[in-house]
Amino acid sequence: MASVAIIGQDGAGKTTIADMVLEKLPYKMKYIYMGRNVDSSNYFLPTSKLIHLYKIYKYKKKHKIEDNSTAKKLSLHEIDQDRKKDTRGKIGAFLRLLNRLAEEWYRLVISKSYQRKGYLVIYDRHFIVDSIPDKLDTELSRKRLTTRIHDWVLKNLYEKPSIIFFLHAPAEVLFARKGEATIEYIRAKNEAFLEFGKNIKGFEVIDVTQPVEKVFDDVKQKIDNLFNTQKKNKFVIKTTDSKIGDKSE
Q: What is the CATH number of the domain that holds 15?
A: 3.40.50.300
Domain assignment present for residue 46? The answer is yes
pLDDT at residue 241, as a whole number: 45
pLDDT for 26 beyond 70: yes
| pLDDT on residue 91 | 87
Binning pLDDT at 50, 70 and 90, where does residue 239 land? low
Which residue segment(s) compose the domain that 23 sits in? 2-229
* Structure confidence by residue, pLDDT tens digits, 116-173: 999 999 999 999 998 887 665 554 445 678 888 999 999 999 999 999 999 999 999 9
| 17 lies in some domain | yes
54 located within any domain: yes
With respect to residue 237, please indicate whether it lies within any of the assigned structural domains.
no
Position 234 in a domain: no
The answer to whether residue 15 sits within a structural domain is: yes
Rounded CA separation 65/63 (Å): 6
246 inside domain: no
Q: What is the pLDDT of residue 86?
A: 56
Would 243 be classed as within a structural domain?
Answer: no
Domain count of the fold of the chain? 1
Average pLDDT, rounded, for the chain = 85
Quote the CA–CA distance of 162 and 122 in Å, as a whole number. 10
